[in-house]
Amino acid sequence: MKFYETMYIVHPILEMGRLHDLILEVDKNLSENNCEVVYTKLMGKKRMAYPIQKQKFGTYVVVQYKGDGTYNNKLTFDMKNNPNILRHMIININESDVEESIEDIKDQISGLTRVSSSPEKEEVVEDKSEVEKSKPDESQEGKREGVEKETSKEDTETNEEKEG
Please classify residue 97 by burial: count the beta carbons closer than 10 Å to its beta carbon, then call 0-12 exposed, 13-18 middle and 19+ buried: exposed
Instruction: Spell out the per-residue pLDDT of the chain, length 164, in tens.
Output: 899 999 999 999 998 889 999 999 999 999 999 999 998 999 999 999 999 999 999 999 999 999 988 899 999 999 999 999 999 999 998 887 777 655 566 666 665 544 444 344 444 445 554 445 555 555 555 555 555 555 555 555 555 555 55
pLDDT, residue 99, reads 73
pTM value is 0.61
pLDDT, residue 23, reads 94
pLDDT, residue 61, reads 95
User: Given strand 36-52, what is the order of strands in its sheet?
Assistant: 36-52, 55-67, 2-10, 85-93
Q: What angle do CA 98, 104, 105 make, to 5 degrees?
A: 90
Give the Cβ contact number of residue 67 at 10 Å. Answer: 19
Concatenate the DSSP letters of all residues of 14-80 into one string.
--HHHHHHHHHHHHHHHHHTT-EEEEEEEEEEEEEEEEETTEEEEEEEEEEEEE-STTHHHHHHHHH
Please state the φ and ψ torsions of residue 137, each to the nearest 5 degrees: -70, 155
pLDDT, residue 100, reads 67
Q: What angle do CA 120, 123, 125 make, to 5 degrees?
A: 160
The domains of the chain, with CATH numbers, are 2-96+103-117 (3.30.70.60)
Judge whether 116 and 82 are in contact, CB under 8 Å. Answer: no
Closest by CA position to 86, among listed 120, 121, 45: 45
Q: What does the DSSP 8-state code read for residue 95?
A: G
